[in-house]
């Protein structure tokens, strides 16, 4: 088929060149945005007297028809078209005749594609905000459900100090709330209208870019037409937000994998979000968490790919930029799926609180509390630290724990030990004494939970 841009050239291209050049297989998902953008464009052209009102009505009616035919399946996307913009214009012209050819006045595919992509990513961002809020809610509900469960907190993956399971969970709520903020902020830079930048230099027609932008729900209009058509930082920023969010999901996934292993056995995942092994009957594999962790690598790749594509491009539009969509769509689709699956998996998680508590009993996670006890009795911290360390070494040799030592054994290390040392090394007390702001003490965790619940309601 001869191209709509035939003129300077015959428009007769080799099939392999057409296939190589075509983006319809991945940009057809922007059909709705493309059509809505065109409706606003037609309305603007008429308002400015660039086309007749009657022509605009015809164009808008035709575009509405195309949208509803695509939605009900009576119109199929022609996969041999060059891209979604050409496809819509082609169908419009077939349906309306010559008036269809007026739609592309005072615009270019360069500002059109930038517009479509911004509209698409704006909707996608709103979707992510809902999904993130839902995830934060599920995390907070779990933290509340298990508000008394004590587990070892780790540093270097070595048992460090006892923490509430809810405190550990709420750390992730904080991360996803920051991701929420990052997407909210990124949305501001997405929501700037490029339409009317035209090919690169603006236009000689008396357009009204502000009218068109307002019709499409944009907050502002790009100030420089060359930037308007060549800026893809909004995609980079979006993917960077996605990458951070995937990184958080991936860290959480890693813990889910560890916690569901026989070595930890801190949690049990529901059957609905685990798989079996084809050969080992005892297996219950945390595939969902592993896949989220695995897919994170690909999403980082998407971000790197577009950063690399853009780094050497002169202004303004270059066809290289068509590569933006596969990266950004892949990153979006992946995060969308991961957020949904991860949230479902988390909602069905059962904490094995006895096992968590048991893990706290070994590993001397109350050794810091023992040192703090000695400090309260008047010893300098370094001396207290040293005595506590010697006690731990002694316990390891004697196969004892701090709770099972006798008072005489304590006193053989220091005269200052009294009966109240047993309260000091009691795990529940160790947690509750950490009442500093943001600490793992129960009041602090309950405060975090109520803070986040308010955030869910109001943000």
Closer CB to ligand ARG, 118 or 182, in the complex: 118
Q: How far is the CB of 116 from ligand ARG (least distance, A)?
A: 9
How many helices (H) and strands (E) in the chain? Answer: 19, 6
Q: How far is the CB of 324 from ligand ARG (least distance, A)?
A: 7
Q: How far is the CB of 340 from ligand ARG (least distance, A)?
A: 28
Q: How far is the CB of 34 from ligand ARG (least distance, A)?
A: 10
CA distance 331 to 261: 29
Footprint (CB under 6 A) of ligand ARG, residues 262-321: 317, 319, 321
The answer to whether 385 and 414 have CB atoms below 8 angstroms apart is no
Does the footprint of ligand ARG cover residue 121 (CB under 6 A)? Answer: no
Where does this chain touch ligand ARG (CB under 6 A) — which range of 29-37, 108-116, 203-211, 269-277? 108-116
Closer CB to ligand ARG, 43 or 321, in the complex: 321
Three-state SS annotation for 393-452: HHHHHHCCCHHHCCHHHHHCCCCCCCCCHHHHCCHHHHHHCCCCCCCCCHHHHHHHHHHH
CA distance 237 to 202: 26
Does the footprint of ligand ARG cover residue 429 (CB under 6 A)? Answer: no
Closer CB to ligand ARG, 34 or 369, in the complex: 34
DSSP string over 256-268: HHHHTSTTT--EE
Q: How far is the CB of 109 from ligand ARG (least distance, A)?
A: 4
Active site residues: 156, 277
CA distance 459 to 446: 20
Footprint (CB under 6 A) of ligand ARG, residues 68-107: 83
Does the footprint of ligand ARG cover residue 109 (CB under 6 A)? Answer: yes
Closer CB to ligand ARG, 226 or 352, in the complex: 226
Q: How far is the CB of 189 from ligand ARG (least distance, A)?
A: 19
Footprint (CB under 6 A) of ligand ARG, residues 6-25: 23
Closer CB to ligand ARG, 25 or 68, in the complex: 25
Q: What angle do CA 58, 64, 70 make, to 5 degrees?
A: 135
Q: How far is the CB of 362 from ligand ARG (least distance, A)?
A: 59
151 beta partners: 163
Task: Please pick, from the candidates 13, 224, 309, 322, the single residue that binds ligand ARG as defined by CB under 6 A.
Answer: 322
Query: What's the token pair of residue 153?
Result: 């907190």
Locate tokens 């191209």: which residue? 3
Task: Please pick, from the candidates 110, 191, 222, 260, the single residue that binds ligand ARG as defined by CB under 6 A.
Answer: 110
The answer to whether 55 and 354 have CB atoms below 8 angstroms apart is no
Task: Please pick, from the candidates 113, 119, 138, 395, the single residue that binds ligand ARG as defined by CB under 6 A.
Answer: 113
* Site size for ligand ARG (CB under 6 A): 10
Closer CB to ligand ARG, 4 or 291, in the complex: 4
CA distance 456 to 444: 18
CA distance 326 to 298: 12
Closer CB to ligand ARG, 50 or 328, in the complex: 328
CA distance 326 to 83: 13
3-state DSSP helix/strand/coil percent for the chain, to nearest 5? 65, 5, 30
Please count the other Cβ atoms lying within 10 Å of the Cβ belonging to residue 7.
9
- Give the residue ranges of DSSP H helices in 200-286: 209-215, 225-230, 233-259
**Which residue ranges make up the site for ligand ARG (CB under 6 A)?**
23, 27, 83, 109-110, 113, 317, 319, 321-322
């Amino acid at each position: 088929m001869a191209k709509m841009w035939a003129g300077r050239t015959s428009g007769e291209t080799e099939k392999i060149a057409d296939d190589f050049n075509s983006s319809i297989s991945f940009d057809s998902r922007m059909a709705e945005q493309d059509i809505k953008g065109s409706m606003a464009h037609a309305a603007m052209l008429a308002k400015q007297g660039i086309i007749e009102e009657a022509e605009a009505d015809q164009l808008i009616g035709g575009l509405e028809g195309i949208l509803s035919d695509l939605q009900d399946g009576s119109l199929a996307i022609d996969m041999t078209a060059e891209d979604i913009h050409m496809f819509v214009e082609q169908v419009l012209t077939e349906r309306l005749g010559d008036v269809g050819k007026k739609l592309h006045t005072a615009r270019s595919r360069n500002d059109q594609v930038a517009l479509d992509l911004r509209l698409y990513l704006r909707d996608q961002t709103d979707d992510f905000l809902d999904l993130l809020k839902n995830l934060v809610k599920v995390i907070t509900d779990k933290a509340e459900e298990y508000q008394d469960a004590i587990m070892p907190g780790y540093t270097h993956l070595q048992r460090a100090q006892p923490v509430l399971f809810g405190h550990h969970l709420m750390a992730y709520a904080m991360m996803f709330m920051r991701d929420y903020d990052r997407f909210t902020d990124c949305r501001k830079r997405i929501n700037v209208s490029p339409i009317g930048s035209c090919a690169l230099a603006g236009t000689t027609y008396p357009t009204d870019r502000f009218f068109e932008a307002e019709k499409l729900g944009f907050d502002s209009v790009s100030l420089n037409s060359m930037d308007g058509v060549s800026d893809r930082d909004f995609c980079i920023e979006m993917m960077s937000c996605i990458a951070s969010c995937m990184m958080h999901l991936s860290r959480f996934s890693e813990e889910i994998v560890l916690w569901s292993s026989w070595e930890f056995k801190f949690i049990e995942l529901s059957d609905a979000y685990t798989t079996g092994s084809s050969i080992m009957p005892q297996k219950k594999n945390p595939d969902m968490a592993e896949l989220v962790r695995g897919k994170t690598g690909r999403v980082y790749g998407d971000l790197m790919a577009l950063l690399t594509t853009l780094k050497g491009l002169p202004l303004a539009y270059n066809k290289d930029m068509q590569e933006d969509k596969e990266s950004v769509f892949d990153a979006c689709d992946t995060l969308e799926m991961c957020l949904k699956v991860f949230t479902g998996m988390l909602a069905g998680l059962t904490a094995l609180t006895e096992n968590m508590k048991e893990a706290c009993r070994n590993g001397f996670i109350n050794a810091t509390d023992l040192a703090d006890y000695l400090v309260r009795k008047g010893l300098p911290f370094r001396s207290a630290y040293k005595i506590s360390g010697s006690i731990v070494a002694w316990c390891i040799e004697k196969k004892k724990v701090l709770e099972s030592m006798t008072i005489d054994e304590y006193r053989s290390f220091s005269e200052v030990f009294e009966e109240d040392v047993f309260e000091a090394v009691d795990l529940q007390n160790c947690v509750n004494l950490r009442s500093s702001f943001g600490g793992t003490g129960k009041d602090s965790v309950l405060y975090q939970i109520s803070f986040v619940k308010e955030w869910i309601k109001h943000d």
